[in-house]
Structure 1
Amino acid sequence: MQLEWLEDFIELARTRSLSRAAENRCVTHPAFGRRIRALEEWVGTPLIERKQPLSLTPCGALFLDAATQSLQLLTAVRAQFKGTTLSRDEPVRIATGRTLACDFFPDWYESLHQRLGNFAVSLVTSGAQEAISKLSAGEVDLLLSFSSPLTHTLLDPERFDSRVLANEELLPVSAPDTKAQPRQRISVDHNALSIPWLAFSPSLALRGVLAQHLERLPQHLALRMVYQADSYDAILEMAKRGRGLAWLPRMVVKGALASGELVIAGGPEFHVAFDVSLHRLRTNQSEMVMNIWEGL
């Protein structure tokens, strides 16, 4: 029996939906179903009624209480051991994205260093879903991320603490029309029949942030996707070459705006606010993690 099966079952009991529980646990629906069946085989009896609406069997309700108490006890003991062993010589494990690792983390770490002194950090970069999964599984101590519909959905406030570190915004940008490179200026225009768009891949957290903002606009924008990437820096380079309109974090484009390689391509109504946030499992009470957390 694997501990993740208990976490799967508890999440399924909470949501009463196989598809939603699978999404929250960052696994595919079929894989999640196989893990629930494996748990039932280990227990030796069905735990859920596979009909709509989904419900627990009497044995499932009894097992839920045992699973919850067992997992809480094991997690608490593990956190206690970590709290007694994690020192300044052992790295605080932080998961984040490539952009935040380069454009936000160094300055933020310097502020922590000034307050807490030297301490080791192990920084892991990955996509948003993978990073959330690592935090949920206890493979990292902290998650540094852009706040998005994905993080709001997958980070249950009953299990995770979250703090806003900074306010950011997505800016609509494009290359300017210059004498050296004459071209048609691309900008946000409700009347345009087609706007070439440099888009985020689904794996990027800010895709959902931008989608929600565009849906709330009073008029539809005729965006035509001409390029898509899972890297903000890759989109930045295509925007500087005049290949289309892009929404990018201010921290990513500030240098290109200052040098004149890019210009703002839309008014304030097209600027999209979001946060940079830090997250941790509530059960992680290790000394260095709590020193960082309590000083935020």
Structure 2
Amino acid sequence: MELIWLEDYLALADALNFSRAASARHVTQPAFSRRIRALEDWIGAPLFIRTTHSVALTPAGEQFRNQAEVLTRALHQLRRDTLEVAGRGAGPLSIAATHALSFTFFPKWVRGNEKILALGTLNLISDSMQACEQMMLRGDVQFLLCHHHPNISSRLETSQFKSIVVGADTLVPLSAPDQDGAPRWRLERTAPVRYLGYSEQSGLGRIIAGLRGAADRSFALETVFTSHLAATLLSMARAGDGVAWLPRTLAEEDMSLGRLVQAGDPGLAIPIEIRLFRPAARQGPIAEAVWAAFERS
């Protein structure tokens, strides 16, 4: 049994595609397939159903998933703790953060908590919400910074993790203005509005899809583009390509300069939290000291 087999399994369980999973693991697809088969041989049962066009977890594969995540996370933590005890150091503390927060909130937040930096070096890893969740689930990072809404579930909302609120934000529907300063695209009961949406990897996309799906809207949206990057949607909204729900922390400069204006009633804005997640299990002394400092601040 090798740790790399567990990491390969989790990559395939997430992607459900051998090519994408092998690419994420930086290995050729034949070598990746051999390692998945080696894990299944060690367990003694198939974990995946393979067809010509699709991959799915077997019931045994579903059963294996949660404990594989727990075990992988625990092994990474065990290594870090052992290195600290041996006086070899645990290396920098890693924080995964979604792209939108990496560009705007994180730099100001860290500058406002300089005493935390004195406790250890922080390594920021910026990616989509889906990728950040995967890093946290596998133990590749000690902390995860993301947008969050209480009514939208996350893969980290289990007894295996805990979190604190470290900030607040608002998702605002924004459009470029017309020559009179009114929104070029307005959310109202007329023709469908061009919508710049988030892809499935995006945590902001989950929030908007969950809340929009539950609401009785008086307007229709026509999705013309999707991306997991809020910054990309901001650029397209600024260019007049449609309406996008954007974090105020990201769009506040464009709003103040009049390059973006609200595309509808203020009640269409969505208040959201900025949360910091961590594993519930005790981590090393430095990570615990940093967490305690975050809680106090």
Same fold per TM (> 0.5)? yes
Q: State whether structure 2 residue 199 is matched by structure 1 residue 201.
A: yes
SS in 1 for 2:197: strand
CA distance in 2, matches of 1:163, 1:155: 13
Post-superposition CA distance 1:34-87 (Å, at most 9, x none): 8886445225x4499x9xx9579xxx99xx99x999879856643532553586
Q: State whether structure 2 residue 16 is matched by structure 1 residue 28.
A: yes
Distance 1:230 1:29, change over 3 A: closer
Distance 1:7 1:122, change over 3 A: closer
SS in 2 for 1:129: helix
CA distance in 2, matches of 1:198, 1:68: 34
1:17 — aligned with what? none
1:16 — aligned with what? none
1:2 — aligned with what? 2
1:15 — aligned with what? none
2:219 — aligned with what? 221
**Alignment size in residue pairs:** 271
CA distance in 1, matches of 2:288, 2:151: 25
Deviation of residue 158 (structure 1)? 2.3
SS in 2 for 1:234: helix
Deviation of residue 283 (structure 1)? 3.3
Contact 2:119 2:286 in 1 (8 A): no
Deviation of residue 126 (structure 1)? 1.6
Q: How does 1:1-296 map to 2 (within 5 A)?
A: 1-3=1-3, 26-28=14-16, 38-43=38-43, 45-46=44-45, 54=59, 74=75, 77-84=78-85, 85=87, 90-114=91-115, 117=118, 119-147=120-148, 152-178=153-179, 185-189=184-188, 191-219=189-217, 221-295=219-293, 296=295
Contact 1:135 1:143 in 2 (8 A): yes
Deviation of residue 151 (structure 1)? 8.6
SS in 2 for 1:154: coil
Distance 1:232 1:3, change over 3 A: same
Give me the TM-score of the superposition, normalised by structure 2: 0.74
Computing the radius of gyration from Cα coordinates, the structure with the larger value is: 1
Residue identity matched to 2:14: C
Q: Which runs of 5+ in 2 are unaligned?
A: 22-32, 50-57
Deviation of residue 290 (structure 1)? 0.9
SS in 2 for 1:252: helix
Contact 2:72 2:139 in 1 (8 A): no
Contact 2:69 2:137 in 1 (8 A): no
Residue identity matched to 2:228: D
Distance 1:244 1:83, change over 3 A: same
Identical-residue share of aligned pairs (%): 27
CA distance in 2, matches of 1:69, 1:224: 41
Q: Which runs of 5+ in 1 are unaligned?
A: 10-20
CA distance in 1, matches of 2:240, 2:182: 8
CA distance in 2, matches of 1:184, 1:110: 35
Residue identity matched to 2:185: I
CA distance in 2, matches of 1:253, 1:168: 11
Distance 1:6 1:228, change over 3 A: closer
Residue identity matched to 1:258: S
Deviation of residue 254 (structure 1)? 0.6
SS in 1 for 2:14: coil
Post-superposition CA distance 1:143-166 (Å, at most 9, x none): 112226999442252222222211
